[in-house]
Structures are given as structure tokens and as C-alpha cells.
Amino acid sequence: MSIAPTSTAPRLQFANASKWYGSVTALMDVSFQVGNEVVGLVGRNGVGKTTLMKLAAGLLQPSQGEVRVAGVPAGSRAARAALGFCPDTDRLFESLTGVQFVAWMLRYHGLGAATARRTAEQVLDDLGLGPAMHRKVGTYSKGMRQRVRLGQALAHRPAVVLLDEPMTGLDPIARAELAERIAALPGRGVGVLVSSHVLHELEAIADRVVLVHQGRLLAEGKVADLRRQLPGRPQTYRLAAPDLRELAAALVALPAVQDLSVGAEGLLVTAGDGAAFRAAVTELAAAGRFAIREFVPVGDDLATVFESLVG
Amino acid sequence: MNEPRVELPPLVGLGFLGTLFEAARQCLLLLLRNRLLWAMLLLLPLLAGLEYAVGGAGRNRLDGRDLYCLFAWWLLAGVVVPWLTLYLSVQAIHGEIEDRTFQYLFLRPVCRVPLLLGKMVAVAVLGIAVASFGAACLFVGAALRPDRWATGVEPELLTIFVEVNGFGVLAYVAVGALFAARFRRPMLWGSLAVVGQMLVALLPVSAGLRSVTVADPMRRLLLDRLDPNGQLARLLWPSERDFRSDLVGQPLLNLLAVGLVSLLLAAYAYARREYDARERE
């Protein structure tokens, strides 16, 4: 098999990819790309996230459309050489040491025994496994096991890695460490597609997110951009001013306002038409009334966006 | 999308033989940690002890040759070899599918067929080693009573059983690989298949179905090598009262056919593109 040694193609590309099992549609007409960046994959259980990951890994074939890794069809030998996959299952070869396991995987990439072992030691050391890398995997904590799984996915220097629920089962400190490592991968030339239920952590590391619901790609982009794509959806704002009661009385008369409450942090206003409400508040502020000190959207995070989109 | 050029990792890979060797080596290391395998190695000397005890008991004691053939055929070739081989095949192939660790292997830039063949080689090596050790233990158990051997102790019997069991292990490995690669509950279906083929193998020579089993060609190969007298022939093949050498047929060809068909079906199942498809789950 001969392939071009370099390619300008995206690291991972879904082009109208669909997957169905008989009459059950798992994924429908999904298109997006992953470049040299971290892309978060968001969706509830059973919406097709794992199917999407397996299509990218080549473990499944699209029923329609195309999935390419570094410009070559997913599942081909060249694609497998360019891909690292950290599956969602916590199973490893328990009787092997961390180094043995990673070195074994590297052998299949054509590395000699000594080089494979040296590379495995280096990768696991970089991941902070330390001397424990020479212990049997069966004795590892969840955080250490996650490092080994990540190590086997990164050791052969892939162009893209797929991380399926990598945060699951980790304690907060291990989560923070892992998030930091994932966020650093694009700096080493590795594109990342990562799925997680821990939305705020995903938001912190992902350059972009892809929202999947009922097998369809619901939205794609930066979280803030996605939030702006939701006209007509109620949005909450926090306002701070010296006289909140007077301000509340003025705002409640606006047709865009659906709900209003005064709290310790200020005035919380839920507006049905965000654009109209923002325009009205801007007018009030420009007129110099109420001395509005703060006017910020609340719930502009990934979880709110996701909940807004899927209802 | 304005992207920097993606440096694809060099596609070196291990090649067919390299992958096969590496898979065999790793599988062997993993299987050597299996406790049942070591328990079996401890059990075999106990069987030899039982054989020694039986050899000294009763008024109509069997000839040493018959006693050894009886134990080595019915216990070793009939029980230990098929069950151990099936178990090791399932551990080596299906164990990774069951706990999903196969995903680590299938995403490497190597073909799956040599991965499967490597595992089969590892199982075959261990199966032949255990079967040979068992044959040796049983031989010692019988040879420790040299007075029971009418024509003197026959060391060549050990060679015969090592040979017959060796061919049997190879065929059983292929059958075990087929069940391990294809079925969700390979031990259950494999066990039914092993028992079924053993029952079929008991049929008289007129039943042509026998030739698609492993046990029957093994027995015919054994009888061909042993050149048994009437009593020993009846001990080894109770349903065939008048054994003649022309009944042997082509046992190696039969074993080869069963093994090859099983191997091809196993490789086809293992190399399917969508091995992880939902119908397995």
C-alpha cells in the first residue's frame, strides 16, 4: 500500500455520514471536520456518540457517506496508522505492565522491540505514570489506567486521537490533569475529538463542540457562537444597578421580558426575544437612567446551550 | 479550512509474518498466566498415578500396552485435548472480544488474519506441549509396571500418541478458533460441538458422518499407527467389532479438511470489517 507521506486534508472528516442497523438509524447525515484542535462531542447516552467514534476509528463502516482520517478512508491501514483511539471501556490487559502493554501496541506499528519499549517508557513518563509503569496494570488506580489508555493512543504519534468519555470514573484532580493534557495536544500537532458528559470540563478544553442528538448533528461551533444561534429561545441576563426595584419596574413593562427576580447578585431577567431585550436595555443605559453597572448573559455555558437545543 | 500539513506516521507495519509472530508471542505470554493451564499440568501426573494404581488392581489386569492406550486415548485424547484446546482458544480469541480489549489490536495498522493465526499458533504450541506432557506422564504411569507388558515396554507408543494428539490439537484449535471468533457464547456452543462430534465418532464405520469430526480421524490415525490386536481395537473403538486396517481410510486428509474449513470460516468471521456490529451485542 502506498500513500502520500503528507496531506493537507483535515485530520478527521465526516462527509454526510449515516449509519443504520436494519431499520434503526444510529447516525444520520453527519458532516464536520476536525483540524489541529480539540473538538468536543456532546450528546446524551444513546444518541450516536459512540457510533460516531467507531466510524472514525474504522470499527464500523458508514452505511452512506464517507469518513476520512488524514485524507484516507477510515479503517484503512494508513488511517489506522494515523489514528489513536482511547475507548470508553476501562478494560486493559491486566496481567501486563503499563510499559509492556504500550510497547506491545507499538510493535504493531513496526517499531523494533527495544525502540518500542523505550518509546513506551517515555510516553508513560510524560503522562506522569512514573515508576508505576513497570507494575501490572491490574494494580493501577483509575487515573493510572486512564494514563495507560491515553499512552497507547498517543505513543505512535497519531495525527488525530479519539477520546471516548475519557473523564469517566476519574477524581476531580485526575480530571483536571487529563483536561490539561488533552488541551495541550494540538500544540503537539495532534487533532482531538473528545466526547464527555462533563460539559463544563469539555467546554474548558474544546476549541469547538459538535452537538449530537438522536443521531443527527444538531449544531457545531464555538459555545458562544452556538448560543447566539438560538433566537427565540429564552435567555437569562443579570443586571446590576443602584436601584434594582426601579430598574425592575421599568424592565417588566418590556414585551420581551418573560420573568424577573431580584437576588443577591442583582436582577435576573429572562427574555423571550434576547435581541429585542438587549436593544431595549442598551437604550435605557444610553439614556443614562438607572446607572446600569452590569449587563451579562447568564447560562451561556455548554450545558445551557445543549439543553436549549435538545429541549 | 486553512490547516497546516498533516504529517502522516510512516506506514511501516509488521507485515504478515511479523504480525503473526508478535501475536503468537504475546498470546503465549498471556496464556501462560492462565491458572487452569497450570492446574491441568498438575492434574496429568495424578492421572498417571491413577493409571499406575489401576494397572496393579484386579485379577484380569490389562496388558501394559492396552492400559496405556486406554488411558491415553479416552482420558487424554478424548477429554484433555479437546476441552483444553477449546478453552485456550476461547481465552485467546474470544476473551479480548468479551472485554473489548480487541479494540486496541484492531486499530493497529496490521491485518487481522495474522493476528488470529498468531493466537492459534500460541494455543497450538501450548496444546501440543500439554498433550505431550500428558502422554509422557501416562506412559511413565504404565511403564512403572514393566511386568504387565507382555512384550516389554514399548517407548514408541509415546511417539505415536504425541503424533496423534499433535494432529488432533491442530484440528481442535481451528474448530475452537471458529467458535471463539463467531459466537457470543463460544464455550457453550463449542462444548456442544465437541460432545456431539465425540458421540458421532462412536458410530460404526458405515456412518460416513464420522469423517467430519476430529475424534474419529484421530482414532483411525491411532489405530493405523498402533496396529492393534482385537482386544485393543475394541477398547479404542467399541462400536466397531471387527476392525480391519482397510477401515483406516485417510485420517490425515479428514483432519486437514475439518481444520482447514474451520480455519477459513474463523478467519472470515474475525476479519469482518464490522466486527463490532450491533448484532453481536
The proportion of chain B whose per-residue pLDDT surpasses 90, expressed as a percent, equals 64
Considering the domain architecture, whether residues A248 and A214 belong to the same structural domain is answered as no
- Assess if residue A4 is contained within a domain: no
pLDDT tens for A132-166 read 999 999 999 988 998 999 999 999 999 999 999 88
CATH of the domain at A214: 3.40.50.300
Beta-carbon count within 10 A of B255 CB: 25
**CB-based burial of residue A63 (10 Å sphere; 0-12 exposed, 13-18 middle, 19+ buried)?**
middle
pLDDT tens for A259-288 read 898 877 788 998 887 778 888 888 888 787
The closest CB to that of B100, out of A83, A89, A109, belongs to A89
Which pLDDT belongs to residue B158? 96
- Rounded CA gap, B281 and B276, in Å? 8
Give the residue from A178, A198, A227 where a domain finishes: A227
pLDDT tens for B192-224 read 999 998 888 888 777 788 888 999 999 999 999
Give the residue from A179, A208, A227 where a domain finishes: A227
Assess whether pLDDT exceeds 80 at residue B233: yes
* Record: contact B12-A110, CB cut-off 8 A: yes
Contacts by B94-97, CB closer than 8 A, 24 or more apart: B94/B179, B94/B180, B94/B181, B94/B183, B94/B186, B97/B180, B97/B275, B97/B280
Considering the domain architecture, whether residues A253 and A215 belong to the same structural domain is answered as no
3-state secondary structure of A307: helix
Considering the domain architecture, whether residues A100 and A223 belong to the same structural domain is answered as yes
Considering the domain architecture, whether residues A68 and A202 belong to the same structural domain is answered as yes
The closest CB to that of B104, out of A75, A78, A105, belongs to A105
Considering the domain architecture, whether residues A147 and A261 belong to the same structural domain is answered as no
Which pLDDT belongs to residue A34? 95
* DSSP β-bridge partners for residue A191: A160
Which pLDDT belongs to residue B278? 44
Considering the domain architecture, whether residues A265 and A223 belong to the same structural domain is answered as no
What are the cell numbers at A257?
421580558
Considering the domain architecture, whether residues A68 and A169 belong to the same structural domain is answered as yes
Give the residue from A172, A195, A227 where a domain finishes: A227
pLDDT band at B3; cut points 50, 70, 90 = very low
Considering the domain architecture, whether residues A134 and A252 belong to the same structural domain is answered as no
3-state secondary structure of A31: strand
- Rounded CA gap, A118 and A120, in Å? 5
Residue A72 lies in domain: 12-227
* DSSP β-bridge partners for residue A211: A42, A219
User: Which span out of A55-69, A176-190, A204-218, A229-243 was modeled with the highest average pLDDT?
Assistant: A55-69
- Assess if residue A100 is contained within a domain: yes
pLDDT tens for A52-103 read 999 999 989 999 999 999 999 999 999 999 999 998 888 898 889 999 999 9
Task: Answer whether A84's CB lies under 8 Å from A188's CB.
Answer: no
Q: DSSP string covering chain B, please?
A: ---PPEEPPP----HHHHHHHHHHHHHHHHHTT-HHHHHHHHHHHHHHHHHHHHHT-SSSPPPHHHHHHHHIIIIIIIIIHHHHHHHHHIIIIIHHHHTTTHHHHHTSSS-HHHHHHHHHHHHHHHHHHHHHHHHHHHHHHHHT-GGG-TT---THHHHHHHHHHHHHHHHHHHHHHHHHHH-SSHHHHHHHHHHHHHHHHTS-TT-GGGGGSSHHHHHHHHHHHH---HHHHHHH-TT-SS--GGG---HHHHHHHHHHHHHHHHHHHHT-TTTT-GGG-
- Assess if residue A2 is contained within a domain: no
CA quadruple B235, B236, B242, B245: dihedral positive or negative? negative
Q: Which residues of A touch B118 (CB under 8 A)?
A: none
Min Cα distance B187 → chain A (Å) is 21
**In whole numbers, what is the pLDDT of chain B averaged over residues?**
87
Which pLDDT belongs to residue B280? 42
Number of domains chain A is built from: 2
Considering the domain architecture, whether residues A218 and A245 belong to the same structural domain is answered as no
Which pLDDT belongs to residue B277? 45
Considering the domain architecture, whether residues A217 and A265 belong to the same structural domain is answered as no
* Record: contact B108-A109, CB cut-off 8 A: yes
B19 touching A, CB under 8 A? yes
* DSSP β-bridge partners for residue A84: A161
pLDDT band at B47; cut points 50, 70, 90 = very high
| Chain B residue with the nearest C-alpha to that of A152 | B104
Q: Which residues of B touch A33 (CB under 8 A)?
A: 1
- Rounded CA gap, B161 and B74, in Å? 12
Assess whether pLDDT exceeds 80 at residue A226: no
Assess whether pLDDT exceeds 60 at residue B250: yes
Task: Answer whether B6's CB lies under 8 Å from B98's CB.
Answer: no
- Rounded CA gap, A121 and A140, in Å? 16
Region A4-29 average pLDDT: 82
- Assess if residue A1 is contained within a domain: no
pLDDT tens for B148-207 read 888 899 999 999 999 999 999 999 999 999 999 999 899 999 999 999 988 888 887 777
Q: Based on C-alpha coordinates, what's the Rg of chain A?
A: 24
- Rounded CA gap, A262 and A274, in Å? 19
The closest CB to that of A91, out of B12, B99, B279, belongs to B99
The proportion of chain A whose per-residue pLDDT surpasses 70, expressed as a percent, equals 89
- Assess if residue A7 is contained within a domain: no
Interface test with B, best of A59, A90, A207 (most B CBs within 10 A): A59
Region B237-260 average pLDDT: 83
- Rounded CA gap, B184 and A42, in Å? 31
Considering the domain architecture, whether residues A155 and A302 belong to the same structural domain is answered as no
Assess whether pLDDT exceeds 70 at residue B8: no
What are the cell numbers at B59?
485379577
What is the residue whose three cell numbers read 484516507?
Answer: A72
ipTM, two decimals, is 0.79
CATH of the domain at A275: 3.30.70
Which pLDDT belongs to residue A231? 55
Which pLDDT belongs to residue A265? 78
Which pLDDT belongs to residue B11? 54
Assess whether pLDDT exceeds 50 at residue B6: no
Which one-letter DSSP state was computed for residue A258?
A: E
Residues 96-155 of B with CB under 8 A from A: 99-101, 103-110
pLDDT tens for B23-41 read 999 999 999 999 999 999 9
Residues 145-204 of B with CB under 8 A from A: none
- Rounded CA gap, A272 and A234, in Å? 4
- Assess if residue A53 is contained within a domain: yes
- Assess if residue A152 is contained within a domain: yes
Task: Answer whether A262's CB lies under 8 Å from A241's CB.
Answer: no
Which pLDDT belongs to residue A4? 39
Closest by Cα among B54, B92, B80 to B161: B80
Assess whether pLDDT exceeds 50 at residue B4: no
Closest by Cα among A150, A92, A90 to A124: A150
Which pLDDT belongs to residue A263? 79
Considering the domain architecture, whether residues A65 and A145 belong to the same structural domain is answered as yes
Which pLDDT belongs to residue A1? 33
- Assess if residue A94 is contained within a domain: yes
Distances (CA, A) of B218 to B82, B130, B167, B222, B233: 11, 17, 8, 6, 14
